[in-house]
Amino acid sequence: MCTGNICRSPMASTVFRARVTAAGYGDRVVVDSAATGDWHVGERADSRTIAALENRGYDGSRHRARQFEAADFDRHDLVVVFDRGQERILRAWAPTETDRSKVQLLLSFDRDSSVGRAGDGTDVPDPYYSDAAMFETVLDMVEHASTALFRQIEPALRQGSTT
């Protein structure tokens, strides 16, 4: 979940989907991305996002932006956000305490890594108004945190529970 669904969230969904698929769980884990805003609905990911992904062997070309819907809380066990602003928005939209608890910051899964972090290290910066180098930095953060998140859910997947 990100602001416009063209930079961070398509990056993270592509990376996380690759982790899940490589481990053989692609048919059991739904990976999706959406935006808090509707500015880019229907658009492809930002060209710098696609380029950064391609540079590392990922294919982000099929992504189309969409806005988060209330029904997404019912469809997903976890709603990952990139910054505290998105966290506040999604928790405010959540109809129940259970749904609010589903909203988690991506970097909260990767507390041991210092890759690209600044400040208190809770937010993944939005690279939209920056250069290609920032997209690479954000992708570093996304890769590390996605690996950490996958390590946390993999035991449940091995035991046969569905996510």
Active-site residue flag, 8: yes
What is the Cβ-side half-sphere exposure of residue 105, based on CA atoms within 13 angstroms?
A: 16
Catalytic residue among 7, 8, 46, 110: 8
Residue 28 sits at φ, ψ, to 5 deg, of -115, -10
Catalytic residue among 74, 123, 126, 131: 126
Give the ranges where the chain is alpha helix by DSSP (H): 8-22, 47-55, 72-75, 84-93, 97-102, 132-158
Q: Over the Cα atoms of the chain, what is R_g?
A: 15
Active-site residue flag, 126: yes
Burial of 46 (0-12, 13-18, 19+ CB in 10 A): buried
Could you give the CA distance from residue 59 to residue 70 in angstroms, rounded to a whole number? 28
So which residues are the catalytic ones?
Answer: 2, 8, 126
